[in-house]
Amino acid sequence: MGHLKERYLQYDEPQKIMAAGIYPYFRAIESEQDTVVKINGKNVLMFGSNSYLGLSNHSQIKEAAKQAIDKYGTSCAGSRFLNGTLDIHLKLEEKLARLVGKDAAICYSTGFQVNIGVVSALCGRNDYLLLDSLDHASIIEGSRLSFSKVLKFEHNDMSSLETKLKLCEPDKIKLIVVDGIFSMEGDIVRLPEIVELAQKYNASIMVDDAHALGVIGKNGRGTASHFNLTDKVDLIMGTFSKSFASLGGFIAGDAPVINYLKHNSRSLIFSASMTPASVASVSTAIDIMISEPERIQHLWELTHYAQKAFKEAGIDTGKSETPIIPLFIRDDIKALQVTRILLDNGIFVNPVISPAVPKEDSLIRFSLMATHTFDQLDIAVDKIIAAFRQLDIIQR
Ligand SMILES: Cc1ncc(COP(=O)(O)O)c(C=O)c1O
């Protein structure tokens, strides 16, 4: 047996959890990503999706995807840099730049690729990347690929950020990279204070709006729009895999920066471009987001209702202010047990346990879609409260 197989034969953590009957990953869904999904032939209420606007199975978006396949085929068979640029890629980039109020934008094939390709490319050996400790894994990976100095500050803690800024040499690039809405905790970045600090220390700002587009800001335009600070943010990043019912991502900013990325960002240049169907889906999803503001309004009504119900039941929802609601359990095994009990009772939620978060922060990530009904929400809340009581996470 080679060393490779020998080493990984010893890796049996997932098998132990499977043996305990509480393995929660790779659950196969046999239907569309909707508020109700089919798992093992059974209908399950979906409260673990990132489809915040509920557009993943919208008939108009499906039709647009089909038409794009008919016209352009299923793949571009190459990178944007060489043979993989379509006219619809360019049109989508213009639309995205207008949407977020920036000069220019460029699309990558996933949001993860945007972050690794942008964060790694922009800062050189003597520059600084300043990251929130709860930034998404793709930002961390980007910083690992960069030659610059990486300084992490405490989550949403402005005095910690200022301490790190003071360590930086004044004449070097200092790029502060933050999530707009933090993906597990559901809190919003303190952008106004970050902008003040950035101005004081001559730093630049990149906001990852993966979870903010379609959720906050004017017509869902994201974090900078939410705070009316679009001009003060240098780079806005977004994914298409959440509110925009597709797959891919973009970075938007000043034209010279986007021009540099187009010619130097390796995950853009050395990876195939977004498929025609994905491009058409995003474009149509944006049109629907703008023309149907009632979706976002309903999402927020559900959010306020759910936050209130969980808090009244004594469930710790942390600092969430958005449709991402963490239900803190603070015990890995109980988080897996709750997930299992809920699935058996027809509710899909995601457990977040160590090492993704420290053991004492393990949680259930409950997330809402604009297409949920209040009846569906009531059913889920009741079952969650019952499961939390059953396992003594909250008192009866
Ligand atoms: C904050 C954040 N940034 C980036 C990504 C990566 O996006 P994608 O799934 O489109 O690769 C995610 C996905 O989970 C995310 O949550």
Q: 326 has which bridge partners?
A: 365
Mean pLDDT of the 249-270 span: 98
Residue 241 confidence (pLDDT): 98
Note if 183 is an active site residue: yes
- The pTM of the full predicted model, rounded to 2 decimals, is 0.97
CA-CA-CA-CA torsion sign (100, 160, 129, 363) = negative
Residue percentage of the chain with pLDDT more than 90: 97
Strand order through the sheet with 204-208: 104-108, 249-253, 235-239, 204-208, 174-179, 128-132, 149-153
Distance between Cα 195 and ligand 1 center (Å): 23
Burial class (CB in 10 A: 0-12, 13-18, 19+), 355: exposed
Residue of 211, 298, 334, 372 marked active site: 211
**Quick one: tokens of 341?**
């009990």
- Three-state secondary structure call for residue 31: coil
pLDDT band (50, 70, 90) for residue 358: confident
Residue 359 confidence (pLDDT): 86
- Three-state secondary structure call for residue 317: coil
The verdict on the CB of residue 110 being under 6 Å from ligand 1 is yes
Nearby residues of 280 by Cβ (< 8 Å), 6 or more positions away: 64, 65, 67, 68, 88
Distance between Cα 183 and ligand 1 center (Å): 8
The verdict on the CB of residue 136 being under 6 Å from ligand 1 is yes
Mean pLDDT of the 102-108 span: 98
Residue of 183, 246, 267, 271 marked active site: 183
pLDDT band (50, 70, 90) for residue 147: very high
Residue 355 confidence (pLDDT): 86
